[in-house]
Chain A
């Protein structure tokens, strides 16, 4: 470390001198989205496979300001301490860079994302196709602009497809936030911090099956129905975008 006394001095990040008028959602007024999207409009997705050369499969996803890289290694040898199993194992890890969040080092709070990613993917992978071995899925969030876990899950399933791991179907994931009286899809970090409730669905679009559903906060039954419809519609569109990304790679190779 560069400090001369040998111990790390305490530092703080300079905060803005005047508090920007925080737009707290009021119950009767419509929320205005900071990036002027419609309520039911998702951010444009930029997806690319083959980002990391030593990995069996990898993908890079950019949804607005949320940027994620996922690498898949395997199927490879499991750790020796594990017992024999005749289905394969899935091992997931999600980590944040120190500069991903506006305040340095906030990403280390998000340790539960690794197990949530595991639960989202294990329903879609044909584990019987690689017995005794293990597939590692590692994700690194380069910049966190809201809706991190859905982007990580979609990017991970693209990386698994790039690695050639057998899947029942691609997995697409979208989340919806309830801000004031509006439902907004694909929230950014500001909207996530003000929401009264959030709902995230991970589904396999062509099979019409849901692998993971997470609901947080206050919801009334009709609102949950609307939110689920929204998410499922967005998931199938995202699934098509992911498929076309994979097809483009193949057509490029053929040329």
Chain B
């Protein structure tokens, strides 16, 4: 490789960078032959993941998730709605994923990125079908008022594995969510009950007695893998995703059940053995992410 040249260090540095720009696929394949990736990771290992709960003070629940450089900020705001006639005792969740122009040079203001709507729909489907949240817990007054949880996820830095980071931040934001205490007004509107009023206002019974947390059953976690020839690369960076196009996303919940498997085309056709390997990698990753989430929750409770 160019780095092995005997010439001066600066010259070989420039050669390596130029080679990386001009022949990116060969540059990555040279690394894969030695079972390593360009950032010295093993093929099946993911980048360092950190999670911080309560990043946004003005929202009812929020979380900041970082996988390597990919950064996602999720925040939940609760508003009141009238439930539908078909399900009078269920609330609702609205999930939206935004890619603002700061996150990547490919996103232009005024034109939402294509990836944003794809990931938005994927997230929505995954979270609702995983059964993590029981919509009946979002009910306030049967048939009259229920919570609508607006979950907005903003990508602050797009460096590959956007879906994984977004799902992690969404799950973390739900586990941080504190539902405010409210009561029903004479006009039939829901109003907030502030802490000093709880003893005084006896005629307006609060609809929920204390700031509740949602019960999350088996939160889902995901792992995105890249398929290239015979290699499976877990947790790709943006550079790797732009060169090798076949992506497989596996979503597992904490009881090791498969929630979703997503392989949107791509030049590499996957055998079932490859898919099983991806699922095995996802199981390992699920344990890591679950412990990261539990650590973040216990850190919050200590405060």
Contacts and interface: CB of A to CB of B under 8 A. Distances in A.
A139 to B, nearest CB: 7
A102 B86 CA distance: 32
B84 A14 contact: no
Nearest to A8: B94
A4 B84 contact: yes
Range class of the B interface residue count: 35 or more
Interface in A80-135: 93, 95, 97-102, 104
B193 interface: yes
B297 interface: no
B102 A9 contact: no
Contacts of A11: 79-81, 148
A52 B150 contact: no
Contact of A138 (B93, B109, B159): B109
A55 B104 CA distance: 7
Contacts of B154: 97, 140, 142
Contacts of A55: 102, 105
B59 interface: yes
Given A11-B81, A14-B80, A2 B95 contact: yes
Given A9-B148, A12-B79, A104-B150, A95 B100 contact: yes
Contacts of B183: 17
Contacts of A98: 75, 77, 96, 150, 152
Contacts, number: 134
A73 interface: yes
A18 interface: yes
A139 B100 CA distance: 9
Given A9-B92, A12-B79, A53-B157, A17 B201 contact: yes
Interface string A1-36: 111110011111111111000000000000000000
A142 B80 contact: no
Interface string B265-293: 00000000000000000000000000000
B168 interface: no
A9 B128 CA distance: 18
Contacts of B86: 4-5
A136 B101 contact: yes
Interface stretch (B28-36, B184-192, B218-226, B256-264): B184-192
Contacts of A51: 156-157
Nearest to A104: B77
B194 interface: yes
B52 to A, nearest CB: 13
B152 A17 contact: no
Interface stretch (A40-48, A63-71, A167-175, A205-213): A63-71
Interface string B30-61: 00000000000000000000000000111100
A143 B159 CA distance: 23
Contacts of A136: 101
Contact of A17 (B82, B110, B192): B192
Contacts of A139: 102
A217 interface: no
A65 B57 contact: yes
A11 B94 CA distance: 12
Interface in B126-163: 128, 148, 150, 152, 154, 156-159
Interface string B161-195: 00000000000000000001011010001111110
Interface in A138-193: 138-140, 142-143
Nearest to A3: B92
A140 B105 CA distance: 15
A222 interface: no
Contacts of B62: 99
A223 interface: no
Contacts of B96: 98
A252 B86 CA distance: 61
Nearest to B83: A9
Contacts of B8: none
A4 B62 CA distance: 26
A22 B19 CA distance: 64
Given A9-B84, A14-B80, A104-B150, A76 B100 contact: no
A243 to B, nearest CB: 24
A43 to B, nearest CB: 15
Contacts of B105: 54-55, 73, 76
Top 6 A-B residue pairs of the complex, sorted by shortest distance between their CB atoms: A93-B109, A71-B102, A11-B79, A138-B101, A17-B191, A99-B75
6 contacts: A9-B148, A11-B148, A52-B102, A54-B238, A104-B77, A140-B100
Interface of A: 1-5, 8-18, 51-55, 58, 65, 69-71, 73, 76, 93, 95, 97-102, 104, 136, 138-140, 142-143
Interface of B: 56-59, 62, 69, 73, 75, 77, 79-82, 84, 86-87, 92-96, 98, 100-105, 109-110, 124, 128, 148, 150, 152, 154, 156-159, 180, 182-183, 185, 189-194, 197, 201, 204, 238
